[in-house]
A and B are shown apart, each in its own frame.
Chain A
Amino acid sequence: MNQFIAAFAWIFDPAHSVGPNGIPTRVGEHVVYTILTLVIAMAIALPAGFAVGHTGKGKTLVVQISGGLRALPTLGLVTLLALLVGIGLLAPLIALVILALPPILAGAYAGLESVDRNTIDAARAIGMTEWQILAKVEIPLALPLIIGGIRSSCLQVIATWTVAAVLPLGGLGRYILDAIPSLDYSEMLAASILVTVLALVADGVFAITQRLVVPRGVVAGRVQEVRVRTIRSRPGAGSNLPDHQTS
């Protein structure tokens, strides 16, 4: 427990709240890197996921790609690209975008896949174009899963930018990687706490966004408890018989 006290002392030490190596600067860098990565990854993965989910073509391919990309070791990809592309933000950015793709892709695809086929047929029957079906029916209904994919991608990106500090980069991972050679455990633990708090805050922001953005009709129609749906009394199983017949 003393280690945690020392870590909090490190966090609240005024010396660590200013300058280029201060906590606000490092948090800012971490947030900017994360947002940049997410925006690029979304620009690639969302259209691809929508295309597959809407047309139903290439489903197996998407699941395989998103599973396969996950198997790529983060650290290996980051270090390899750093050697190939050179020092700077570009190499880790490419690596992180690649790693951010699978959850977004899978979320977009699974979201569209989860929309009831009858609903889509109904939309088509009343004369909606394919684009209208996508934009006004499928995406709104799929929003919870789409945002869920972006949310887990975001958490993964925050975690991976920490690891990416094996390269000369900013962000909160800088503290950890700088403290490892000198075995400064309180600094490592302090930085770990900061990254965790950042991840929790990001997760909370997504949880709130999910509530605000998802149309009310979608929320109302969703089955809250999976379990409730499956255990039910059925008509004809005795429940609708008059009392005197069963007694």
Chain B
Amino acid sequence: MSWFWSNFGLIWQLTVNHVGLSIPPILLGFVLSVPIAWVANRFRLSRGVILSIAGLLYVIPSLPLFIAMPSIIGTKSLDPLNVIVALSIYGLALMVRTSADALASVDGDVRLSATSIGFSGWGRFWGVDLPLAGPVMLAGVRVISVSTVSLVSVGSIVGVSSLGNLFLDGYARYFPEEIVVGIIGTLLIAVVFDLAIVIAGRLLMPWTRSSRRADRRARAATAQAVSSS
């Protein structure tokens, strides 16, 4: 424990870096997935094409993608942008499928009713489709949040500092305590993010609270997202 207290400044700095690297991919993945998922569902052809591309992007392993980033987007090799952009691609790839499925699962009769009482296409999307798809999307965001927080630490291999530095340093110095601190720190960030997402979901979608059917749907969506990620 003495190591922890005497190095608290460093650990805190790495934690802040880790959080800073994790937030943009989660937000970008979610926000960009919505219009893309809409396009995917709008046209018969686009669904297959977009979902296949998303599936292929997710196939690319993380470390190779970090390394290839500078030669694709022209950044320097130690630039944190490499990790942020690469993880945003993953988040987006996973989230597009979840969002497309969520939007497609909105009951057709509900949509027809919305149109018949006078919703415009735009208004129906924001007022009907998106709120109904929300709980399933939320499950997807929780999955990308967890995997992003975990993958950020791989970035320390390519010199982008995060709590992952503690793993490499602890290994090099044969010092398990340092690694354990890094793992606990990463888990704490993941838990805090997860709570924040759940609370945001409750605030934005108060109607989903404590319904057994909603629980079951969310659980199925999580299982689906985990098994396809």
Contact = CB atoms under 8 A, between A and B. Distances in A.
A49 to B, nearest CB: 9
B64 A176 contact: yes
A23 to B, nearest CB: 15
A167 to B, nearest CB: 8
B229 A103 contact: yes
A71 B170 CA distance: 20
B41 interface: yes
B14 to A, nearest CB: 12
A3 B71 contact: yes
B141 interface: no
Contact of B143 (A67, A173, A188): A67
A225 to B, nearest CB: 7
B154 interface: yes
Say whether chain B's binding surface is mostly helix, strand, loop, or mixed: helix
Contact of B156 (A75, A106, A110): A75
A231 B108 contact: yes
Interface residues of A, number: 67
Interface stretch (B24-32, B120-128, B144-152, B199-207): B144-152
Given A67-B143, A73-B167, A106 B64 contact: no
B104 A80 contact: no
B187 A200 contact: no
A67 B226 contact: yes
Contact of B183 (A1, A73, A227): A73
A119 B64 CA distance: 45
A73 B223 contact: no
Nearest to A164: B63
A36 B174 CA distance: 27
Nearest to B176: A83
Contact of A155 (B41, B59, B220): B59
A203 B142 CA distance: 25
B176 A80 contact: yes
Given A72-B150, A79-B167, A67 B111 contact: no
A76 B182 contact: yes
Interface of B: 41, 44, 47, 55-56, 58-65, 67-68, 71, 77, 101, 104-109, 111-112, 142-143, 146-147, 149-151, 153-154, 156-158, 163-164, 166-168, 170-171, 174-176, 179-180, 182-183, 186-187, 190-191, 219-220, 222-224, 226-229
16 contacts: A3-B71, A73-B149, A73-B163, A73-B186, A76-B183, A78-B167, A79-B171, A80-B180, A106-B227, A148-B228, A158-B61, A176-B67, A189-B71, A199-B59, A230-B104, A230-B108
Given A63-B223, A106-B223, A203-B55, 4 more contacts: A60-B219, A76-B164, A106-B224, A162-B63
**3 closest cross-chain pairs (CB), A and B:** A192-B64, A159-B61, A230-B108
